[in-house]
C-alpha cells in the first residue's frame, strides 16, 4: 500500500466520529490506526511518504508503478487516490481552516450548535449539508453565486420550504460570493459581494462551510487510464475495472 502522506487521508482532520458501526466515539486518527493495525495483521505492507508519479503497462502484461525513485511491478493495481475539497481560494480560507472554516457539515455541524454559520455552494451536496447544518446552528445563511441552484428539484424545494417556515433559521442569498474570510483567532465575519450590483458587505458569522465540489487527485494518471471530463477515473461500475487490464479503481 503506497501512501503519499499517511493512511486515512481527510478523515485525519476529523476530531470526532460518532457514526462508525460498533464504535461509540473516536477521532479520525484513532480510527485509522485501528484499521492500519488490522490490515497489517493480515500481511499488508504500508509505505508512507512516497508520491506515485506515474504508471505504465509493461510488455509482459504487468503494471509498473513509479513512486519517487522506486519502481514497483504488479499484476494488479487498485487506484484509490481520493479527492481534495475544492476551495474558494479567498483570503483567510487556509488561515481559519479548523478554526471556523469547514468542508464537511456532517462532520462539524455539532460544533456550531447555537451559532451563526455561512454555507457556500449550489449543488446537491451543498443543499443536503446546509439542511443538516440547520438542525444544529441557530442561524444558517446560504450563499450561491447564481440566481438558481444546480441541485435536484426535490432538494431545492425542501430547502426553499425550510426558509418559508415560521421562525426559520435558514436564509438564502442568491447571486452572492464570498471574497474574504475575516477574524482574529477564529472566524468572525465574511466579506460578501453581490455579483450583479457589485455591492459588498461584512457579514458577521461564527463559521464558514464550503460545499463547492471535489477535485480528484488524478493528475499522475493522465495518459494512462481514461478519465472523465472532470478528471475522475472512468470505470465499469459493476466490476470497478478501468480501460487498462489489471487496473481497478
Q: Which positions are catalytic?
A: 104, 107-108
> Which residue, among 208, 140, 216, has the nearest Cα to 177 in the 3D structure?
208
**Do residues 119 and 145 lie in contact, with contact meaning Cβ atoms separated by under 8 Å?**
no
Angle, alpha carbons 121-124-128 (nearest 5°): 85
Please give the grid coordinates belonging to residue 137.
446552528
Contact by Cβ (8 Å): 129, 119: yes
Q: Could you tell me if 33 and 54 are in contact, meaning their C-beta atoms sit under 8 angstroms apart?
A: no
Task: Using alpha carbons, list the distances in angstroms from residue 203 to 83, 109, 148, 193.
Answer: 30, 20, 21, 10
Amino acid at each position: 500500500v503506497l501512501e503519499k502522506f499517511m493512511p486515512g487521508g481527510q478523515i485525519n482532520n476529523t476530531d470526532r466520529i460518532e457514526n462508525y458501526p460498533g464504535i461509540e466515539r473516536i477521532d479520525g486518527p484513532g480510527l485509522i490506526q485501528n484499521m492500519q493495525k488490522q490490515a497489517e495483521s493480515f500481511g499488508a505492507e504500508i509505505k508512507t511518504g512516497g508520491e506515485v508519479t506515474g504508471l505504465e503497462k509493461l510488455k509482459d502484461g504487468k503494471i509498473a508503478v513509479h513512486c519517487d525513485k522506486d519502481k514497483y511491478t504488479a499484476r494488479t493495481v487498485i487506484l484509490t487516490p481520493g479527492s481534495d475539497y475544492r476551495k474558494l481560494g479567498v483570503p483567510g480560507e487556509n488561515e481559519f481552516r479548523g478554526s471556523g472554516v469547514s468542508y464537511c457539515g456532517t462532520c462539524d455541524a455539532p460544533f456550531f450548535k447555537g451559532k451563526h454559520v455561512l454555507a457556500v455552494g449550489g449543488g446537491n451536496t451543498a443543499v443536503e449539508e446546509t439542511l443538516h447544518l440547520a438542525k444544529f446552528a441557530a442561524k444558517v445563511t446560504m450563499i450561491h453565486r447564481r440566481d438558481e441552484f444546480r441541485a435536484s428539484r426535490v432538494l431545492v424545494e425542501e430547502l426553499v420550504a425550510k426558509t418559508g417556515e415560521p421562525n426559520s433559521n435558514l436564509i438564502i442569498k442568491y447571486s452572492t460570493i464570498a471574497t474574504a474570510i475575516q477574524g482574529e483567532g477564529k472566524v468572525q465575519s465574511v466579506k460578501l459581494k453581490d455579483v450583479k450590483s457589485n455591492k459588498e458587505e461584512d457579514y458577521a458569522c461564527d463559521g464558514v462551510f464550503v460545499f463547492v465540489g471535489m477535485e480528484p487527485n488524478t493528475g499522475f494518471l493522465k495518459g494512462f487510464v481514461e478519465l472523465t471530463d472532470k478528471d475522475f477515473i472512468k470505470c465499469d461500475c459493476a466490476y470497478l475495472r478501468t480501460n487498462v487490464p489489471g487496473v481497478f479503481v
